[in-house]
A = this chain, B = another copy of it.
């Protein structure tokens, strides 16, 4: 479906032992004064002075997290960075550094890795991140990408999952379900292509969904926006596995219950129309779809006036005492137990 636009194929072996990593990292420029030493020694050295160091790591595996038959390598590199930055932003911290480890089989030519790194460097540039290290090795089969993101924050700025209080409002950024539907569209086109490779798909009307899937953006903007609005969330998490799963994480960590209102869940019009086309329930898609990389947070009730006019935020519920349980309040005003049904059979913990 996605053609290889670069017909040149240089075998990995041609660059030799240390050539590959030198080749892939030659463009790295370090911008942060906190980066004392980046790539090229046994370890990187960072200086955060009185700030706290914030660390998160995620691994993406071919055949589990991505399918290279429709995911361009450049987008994959970009997304691998986003997935990790999102975790740092979910701590209300500034992401500043990443390490990138990749394992590749010999079926990948050097040019494929160049594309992957182009995506990584593009993300680093846009999000103001220094690439400070990593590991490049062979794999016996597919492509594996492991990114560790490092950030920093003043201790009193950091927002954990555990600070939500009874009566706090539950707020989500952006809209939900798009990334999952983008995946459904791409999977369907892959099947069509298998049957008839000459069919040119018309994916225009799904542009938003496909972009949400292939090129998600981490919400770096939210921290600054909340600072400007003088709101500090009481708890926060990013939405990687689906809204229900993340709401339950906040509830469990904070020892509170929740009423989540189905009618309040923000959905893009394309999500609604595509759900109809695929005979999917849009609430289920938003609750369980995952990969939206929006932020979910709670705020004290008195902060509501500060955020209510802002199009980035939707209040979708409020926190209860723990014994009231975790519930979805449906459009029919029924209160049903909220359950996690994330997409990933084994789960990341941070």
Interface residue ranges, A against B (CB under 8 Å): 12-13, 17-18, 20-21, 25, 36-37, 39-50, 52-59, 61-65, 86-88, 90-91, 93, 97, 99, 101, 103-104, 132-142, 144, 146, 148-151, 153, 155, 158, 160-162, 236-238, 245, 253, 340, 342, 344-350
**A137-B37 in contact (CB<8A):** no
**Beyond A53-B150, A57-B101, 11 additional pairs, beta carbon < 8 A:** A13-B345, A18-B340, A18-B349, A36-B155, A41-B237, A43-B149, A57-B133, A65-B137, A101-B146, A135-B350, A138-B344
**B52-A45 in contact (CB<8A):** yes
User: Which single residue of chain B is at the shortest CB-CB distance from A102?
Assistant: B59
**A91-B346 in contact (CB<8A):** no
* Residue in B40, B61, B155, B237 whose beta carbon sits within 8 Å of that of A138 in the complex: B61
**A137-B91 in contact (CB<8A):** no
Q: Which residues of B contact A155 (CB under 8 A)?
A: 36, 45, 47
**B45-A54 in contact (CB<8A):** yes
CA–CA, A237 and B139, complex, Å: 25
**B12-A43 in contact (CB<8A):** no
**B64-A140 in contact (CB<8A):** yes
Q: Which residues of B contact A236 (CB under 8 A)?
A: 42
Residue with the highest number of chain B CB atoms closer than 10 Å, among A48, A88, A237: A48
User: Which single residue of chain B is at the shortest CB-CB distance from A62?
Assistant: B140
Cβ of A164 to closest chain B Cβ, rounded Å: 13
Cβ of A196 to closest chain B Cβ, rounded Å: 27
**A161-B64 in contact (CB<8A):** no
Cβ of A129 to closest chain B Cβ, rounded Å: 14
**B61-A340 in contact (CB<8A):** no
**A57-B150 in contact (CB<8A):** no
User: Which single residue of chain B is at the shortest CB-CB distance from A47?
Assistant: B52
Known contacts being A46-B55, A55-B148, A155-B36, is A41 close to B91, with CB within 8 Å? yes
Known contacts being A36-B52, A142-B140, is A349 close to B135, with CB within 8 Å? yes
CA–CA, A140 and B105, complex, Å: 14
**B137-A59 in contact (CB<8A):** yes
**B90-A136 in contact (CB<8A):** no
**A138-B346 in contact (CB<8A):** yes
Known contacts being A52-B45, A160-B37, A347-B20, is A99 close to B135, with CB within 8 Å? no
**A56-B42 in contact (CB<8A):** yes
CA–CA, A290 and B139, complex, Å: 19
* Residue in B43, B63, B104, B347 whose beta carbon sits within 8 Å of that of A17 in the complex: B347
* Residue in B46, B90, B97, B350 whose beta carbon sits within 8 Å of that of A40 in the complex: B350
* Residue in B17, B99, B342 whose beta carbon sits within 8 Å of that of A57 in the complex: B99
Cβ of A291 to closest chain B Cβ, rounded Å: 14
Residue with the highest number of chain B CB atoms closer than 10 Å, among A137, A142, A344: A137
CA–CA, A342 and B17, complex, Å: 8
* Residue in B18, B40, B238, B346 whose beta carbon sits within 8 Å of that of A137 in the complex: B346
Q: Which residues of B contact A253 (CB under 8 A)?
A: 40-41
**B134-A349 in contact (CB<8A):** yes
**B64-A103 in contact (CB<8A):** yes
Q: Which residues of B contact A45 (CB under 8 A)?
A: 52-55, 91, 153, 155, 158
Q: Which residues of B contact A132 (CB under 8 A)?
A: 55
User: Which single residue of chain B is at the shortest CB-CB distance from A240?
Assistant: B42
User: Which single residue of chain B is at the shortest CB-CB distance from A149?
Assistant: B43
